[in-house]
């Protein structure tokens, strides 16, 4: 995957490392995720990240231009991890509805695990332009790239209604993101199982009383 | 409706008018909408608004604290207009699917008319805290307040599957906003009729080949 950077660069360009150490970068990202899980992104301080990682602020700036650059790197990295988990959930010979339901569970596991980061991503990613376009659009594209082939295969097998596969994927992804954010903000009265059952029923059979 | 203001206030509080003139306020908002339609919100300049309204910058600041304050006022005002249009579309004795389809048409008319403003709203409203909570949440609540009773009535009449009406409303609204934004960004290859037919089919019957 190409390195993705925000297009609004900091005024002072980062000194480039001849041989960046992937382990150092990973240590900084791991520390950032720990801090993010606790406090969310707006309150995240670079000092706290480097302290937790046992590194210096100078080292941080050898690897990232800015807090925005770190955020884009985190979204890129964790989107890849999420896509790997969902791909795994889609595997197997079960009916497409079962596989999609497993994908939704993997998605809900992920947003629950990274709740603060996910909610910040939902609120901010529409406004972040990067070297590969708008950050939210890029994330949707990554998801669609694994969901749309599943939809096309299911339609070819007669397991799904023939509708435009791109629109089907967009609808499922937009719905999942919106409802996951709604769930996280109303968890005291909305159990995860209730949301999951609703999503599975709604996406398979819609609202018509005749259809189930 | 109470006046809604962003909570991040400008440093210098606005001088309050003893008797604000609703016509002057409306002239400023109308001029702002004209400018917004052409250039979008980030490029919107207060100088251009007051020039178009034939008023002074000083007058602008008697009515609005800041550009953010103006944006919240515009979202409040235009959400009310949109809700009025959709309420009208929901009226009548037709089947709920027909009434909801008319509501979707009214929504697509609106987002097409205010395309630049709508896309900016979608990208920014999650990050704007106001005196009535997050701006995007408030807008969803206004929509849900007219959609949820329609859902409850349809379920009571046996015209819709019995599912949690709050989740049904959230799903329909989240889906409509995501798909409308996707449509506006891909209009060259996605005709409005295709999007509308997909939405009506998906929300009524879902993806299962058995359900239609």
* Coil vs helix vs strand at B109: helix
A129 touches chain B (CB under 8 A): no
pLDDT at B71 (0 to 100): 93
Residues of chain B contacting residue A97, judged by C-beta atoms under 8 Å apart: 207-208
* Coil vs helix vs strand at B30: helix
Report d(CA A128, CA A133) in Å as an integer. Answer: 8
Q: For A124, name the nearest residue in chain B, comparing CA atoms only.
A: B127
B182 touches chain A (CB under 8 A): yes
Residues of chain A contacting residue B182, judged by C-beta atoms under 8 Å apart: 170, 174
User: Closest Cα of chain A to B172: distance in Å?
Assistant: 9
Residue located via tokens 């009434």: B99
ipTM confidence: 0.90
A189 touches chain B (CB under 8 A): no
Distance of CA A119 to the CA centre of its chain: 10
Residue B171 in contact with residue A202, Cβ under 8 Å? yes
Q: For B140, name the nearest residue in chain A, comparing CA atoms only.
A: A182
Residue B206 in contact with residue A205, Cβ under 8 Å? yes
Determine the longest span between alpha carbons in chain B, in angstroms. Answer: 65
Contact check, Cβ <8 Å, B207/A161:
yes
B178 touches chain A (CB under 8 A): yes
pLDDT at B200 (0 to 100): 97
Top-confidence residue, A188 or B14: A188
Residues of chain B contacting residue A164, judged by C-beta atoms under 8 Å apart: 194, 198
pLDDT 10s digits, B76-125: 999 999 999 999 999 999 999 999 999 999 999 999 999 999 999 999 99
Selecting from B170, B208, B212 the residue whose C-beta is nearest the C-beta of A182 gives B170
User: Closest Cα of chain A to B183: distance in Å?
Assistant: 10
Mean predicted confidence (pLDDT) in A184-198: 97
Contact check, Cβ <8 Å, A161/B97:
no
Report d(CA B95, CA B154) in Å as an integer. Answer: 8
Taking CA B123 as the corner, what is the angle to CA B118 and CA B124, rounded to the nearest 5 degrees?
95
Contact check, Cβ <8 Å, B211/A161:
yes
B18 touches chain A (CB under 8 A): no
Q: What value does the CA radius of gyration of chain A take, rounded to a whole number of Å?
A: 19
User: Closest Cα of chain A to B79: distance in Å?
Assistant: 19
The model's pTM is: 0.91
* Coil vs helix vs strand at A101: helix
B193 phi/psi in degrees, rounded to 5? -65, -35
Residues of chain A contacting residue B128, judged by C-beta atoms under 8 Å apart: none
Give DSSP secondary structure letters for B150-173.
HHHHHHHTTSS----HHHHHHHHH
pLDDT 10s digits, A32-73: 999 988 888 888 899 999 999 999 999 999 999 989 899 999
Res. B174 pLDDT band, cuts 50 70 90: very high
Contact check, Cβ <8 Å, A178/B179:
no
pLDDT at B39 (0 to 100): 86
B158 touches chain A (CB under 8 A): yes
Neighbours of A90 (CB within 10 A): 18
Report d(CA B35, CA A90) in Å as an integer. Answer: 47
pLDDT at A8 (0 to 100): 66
Res. B10 pLDDT band, cuts 50 70 90: low
Report d(CA B63, CA B65) in Å as an integer. Answer: 7
Distance of CA A189 to the CA centre of its chain: 25
Residue located via tokens 């606005």: B14
pLDDT 10s digits, A77-89: 999 999 999 999 9
Residues of chain B contacting residue A122, judged by C-beta atoms under 8 Å apart: 126
Q: Which residues contact B35 (CB under 8 A, 6 or more apart)?
A: B44, B45, B48, B49, B52
Q: What whole-number percentage of chain B has pLDDT above 90? A: 78
Kindly tell me if the per-residue pLDDT of A11 is higher than 90.
no
Q: For B161, name the nearest residue in chain A, comparing CA atoms only.
A: A209
Report d(CA B85, CA B104) in Å as an integer. Answer: 11
Report d(CA A193, CA B2) in Å as an integer. Answer: 37
Kindly tell me if the per-residue pLDDT of A6 is higher than 80.
no
Selecting from B158, B201, B205 the residue whose C-beta is nearest the C-beta of A205 gives B205
Kindly tell me if the per-residue pLDDT of A102 is higher than 70.
yes
Mean predicted confidence (pLDDT) in A177-204: 97
Mean predicted confidence (pLDDT) in B125-139: 91
Mean predicted confidence (pLDDT) in B19-46: 90
Residue (of B106, B112, B109) closest to B87 by Cα position: B106
Pairing of strands B129-130, B133-134: antiparallel
pLDDT at A212 (0 to 100): 64
pLDDT at A13 (0 to 100): 61
Give DSSP secondary structure letters for B187-209.
TTT--HHHHHHHHHHHHHH-S-G
Residues of chain A contacting residue B127, judged by C-beta atoms under 8 Å apart: 123-124, 127
Q: State the average pLDDT for chain B.
A: 92
Res. A26 pLDDT band, cuts 50 70 90: very high
pLDDT 10s digits, A112-162: 999 999 999 999 998 888 999 999 999 999 999 999 999 999 999 999 999
């Amino acid at each position: 995957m190409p390195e993705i950077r925000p297009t609004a660069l900091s005024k002072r360009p980062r000194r480039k490392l001849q041989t960046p150490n992937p382990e150092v970068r990973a240590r900084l990202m791991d520390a950032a995720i720990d801090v993010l899980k606790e406090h969310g992104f707006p309150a995240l301080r670079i000092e706290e990240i480097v302290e937790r990682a046992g590194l210096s602020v100078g080292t941080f700036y050898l690897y990232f231009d800015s807090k925005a650059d770190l955020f884009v790197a985190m979204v890129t990295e964790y989107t890849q991890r999420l896509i790997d988990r969902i791909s795994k959930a889609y595997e197997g010979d079960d009916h497409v509805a079962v596989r999609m339901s497993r994908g939704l569970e993997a998605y809900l596991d992920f947003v629950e695990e990274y709740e603060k980061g996910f909610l910040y991503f939902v609120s901010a990613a529409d406004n972040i332009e990067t070297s590969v376009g708008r950050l939210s659009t890029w994330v949707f594209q990554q998801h669609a790239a694994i969901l749309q082939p599943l939809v096309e295969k299911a339609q070819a097998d007669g397991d799904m209604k023939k509708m435009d596969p791109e629109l089907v994927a967009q609808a499922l992804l937009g719905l999942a993101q919106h409802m996951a954010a709604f769930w996280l903000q109303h968890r005291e009265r909305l159990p995860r199982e209730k949301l999951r059952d609703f999503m599975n029923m709604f996406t398979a059979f819609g609202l018509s009383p005749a259809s189930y």
